[in-house]
């Protein structure tokens, strides 16, 4: 049997399915127009393949649903809380665990308790809500990505790392006293789903200890980072994904985790802490805004699903199959003539829209344009990570500072789509790549001042050549 087929074989079989819609080309055009050309505004029943996010979009297992039936909904001290707490403690080693309903709630509680107005939060890359919550706490997010990540085509194994030289200069420089937190995102979602090496985390820990700065992990994809470390970092070959993940948590002073990713659940998260005083402050904030400290806004059945999911997500067979399936999709897309950020991560692939659509200027948002075309041609929903999301704009929504790259993220839900679905995605991209000049640019009609990509409304800048196909894949 070919090695790649064995690696891709999922360690489960499908037990429950749901139908997916297939709209006509005209219906998709009308739906996107009514949504203000923003895929976030589309209804789920208008989507054929939904790759907008891997957050809360995965499939649960029979064991998770069986556990959920035992959920204890007591307001305080529920049995489900203790099972969840014990699983998280066993995985992370943190003495203090606070449940939250999702990662951004944990960010808000942690940052408002830890950061002071005027301070700086340093990261390898803040993602959207993370950076927003830093700002809402009155602090400033500062990204120091590894400069090797700027080469999208290189096979550098750990492009998600932080720039250690820049971190040391910042901590030891005139602004060093303002740094209130160093937050490492594993994997680096904002930088192409690239992993962070254990060597990088160890070096960050030493720098933070030397300069007396708290060091935390944003560990939404801790299991996937652990798998890639085991595959790419020689010092950790032979370690299990769970052992690597536990070691990563051990290096940090605490963590904030969205369990809608590697918790294999539709909802949930937690804050892990070592410091008693910080825990007391966060707990008071949690009780006032999220819920009592033994449920944090989660139902007992959610806590049960999460406790079971934390066991399943570090299964090497599951991680091997997921990584192999994403890598195969990357190969098919590349063979179709569309470049992706290399090497392939696990939870998402990032298309190089700037390279595919050179006829569109940054102010026409090539990444967003490609995302819209994927929906128009195939009912595929995805998200832009280019100048619409990252660019600097004036009050009239005119682009002043383009993003360094025009990318489109294809986020891969866990245990949801088969490889046949991914073959379809690659085929739609292949058709676009045959005639990329037919893809229209877009302009902003209206946008909120913060996190604009979620609620922005746009309009085409030109009339795109219509796809003659009337059905997906035709």
User: Annotated catalytic sites, by residue?
Assistant: 75, 127-128, 218, 220, 261, 453
Task: In whole angstroms, give the CA distance from residue 389 to residue 52.
Answer: 14
| DSSP tag of 194 | B
Task: Please say whether the beta carbons of 333 and 349 come within 8 A.
Answer: yes
From residue 106, how far is each of 90, 256, 321, 466 by CA, in Å? Answer: 20, 6, 30, 45
Interacting residues of 369 by C-beta distance below 8 A, sequence separation 6+: 353, 357, 360, 439, 440, 441, 442
User: How many residues are present in the chain?
Assistant: 474
- DSSP letter at 99 equals E
- Nearest C-alpha neighbor of 249 from the set 124, 94, 87: 94
Taking phi first (over 0 means left), then psi (-120 to 50 degrees means alpha), and beta for anything else, what does residue 360 get?
beta
Instruction: State how far the alpha carbon of 172 is from the alpha carbons of 144, 217, 252, in Å.
Output: 15, 21, 20
261 neighbors 310 (Cβ within 8 angstroms)? no
Token representation of residue 436: 């990329």
For strands 179-185 and 457-460, give the pairing. unpaired
Are 187 and 228 spatial neighbours (Cβ–Cβ below 8 Å)? yes
* Structure-derived torsion over alpha carbons of residues 29, 30, 32, 34, reported in degrees to the nearest 10: 160
Return the C-alpha torsion angle 427, 342, 246, 51, nearest 10: -30
């Amino acid at each position: 049997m070919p090695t790649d087929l064995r690696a891709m074989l999922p360690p489960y079989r499908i037990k429950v399915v749901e139908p997916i819609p297939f709209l006509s080309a005209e219906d998709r055009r009308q739906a996107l127009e009514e949504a203000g050309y923003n895929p976030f505004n589309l209804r789920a029943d208008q989507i054929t393949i939904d790759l907008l996010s891997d957050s809360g979009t995965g499939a649960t297992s029979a064991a998770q649903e069986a556990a959920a039936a035992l959920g204890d909904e007591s307001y305080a001290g529920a049995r489900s809380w203790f099972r969840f707490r014990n699983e998280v403690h066993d995985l992370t080693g943190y003495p203090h665990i606070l449940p939250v309903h999702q990662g951004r709630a944990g960010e808000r509680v942690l940052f408002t308790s830890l950061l002071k107005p005027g301070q700086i939060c340093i990261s390898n890359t803040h993602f959207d809500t993370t950076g927003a919550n830093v700002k809402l706490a009155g602090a400033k997010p500062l990204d120091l990505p590894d400069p090797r990540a700027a080469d999208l085509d290189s096979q550098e194994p750990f492009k998600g790392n932080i720039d250690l030289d820049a971190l040391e200069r910042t901590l030891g420089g005139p602004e060093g006293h303002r740094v209130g937190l160093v937050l490492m995102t594993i994997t680096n979602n904002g930088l192409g789903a690239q992993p962070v090496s254990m060597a990088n985390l160890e070096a960050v820990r030493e720098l933070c200890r030397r300069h007396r700065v708290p060091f935390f992990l944003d560990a939404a994809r801790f299991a996937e980072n652990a798998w890639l470390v085991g595959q790419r970092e020689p010092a950790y070959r032979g370690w299990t994904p769970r052992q690597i993940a536990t070691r990563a948590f051990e290096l940090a002073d605490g963590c904030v985790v969205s369990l809608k990713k590697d918790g294999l659940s539709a909802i949930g998260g937690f804050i892990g802490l070592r410091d008693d005083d910080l825990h007391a402050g966060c707990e008071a904030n949690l009780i006032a805004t999220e819920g009592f400290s033994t449920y944090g806004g989660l139902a007992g059945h959610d806590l049960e699903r999460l406790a079971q999911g934390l066991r399943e997500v570090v299964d090497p067979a599951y991680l091997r199959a997921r990584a192999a399936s994403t890598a195969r999709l990357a190969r098919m897309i590349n063979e179709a003539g569309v470049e992706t950020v290399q090497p392939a991560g696990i939870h998402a692939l990032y298309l190089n829209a700037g390279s595919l659509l050179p006829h569109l200027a940054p102010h026409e948002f090539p990444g967003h344009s490609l995302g819209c075309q994927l929906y128009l041609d195939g009912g595929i929903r995805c998200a832009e990570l280019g100048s619409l999301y990252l660019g600097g704009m004036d009050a009239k929504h005119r682009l002043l500072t383009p993003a360094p790259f025009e990318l489109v993220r294809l986020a891969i839900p866990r245990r949801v789509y088969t490889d046949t679905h991914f073959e379809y995605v690659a085929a739609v991209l292949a058709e676009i790549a045959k005639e990329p000049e037919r893809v229209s640019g877009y302009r902003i009609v209206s946008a909120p001042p913060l996190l604009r990509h979620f609620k922005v409304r746009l309009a085409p800048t030109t009339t795109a050549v219509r796809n003659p196909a009337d059905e997906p894949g035709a």
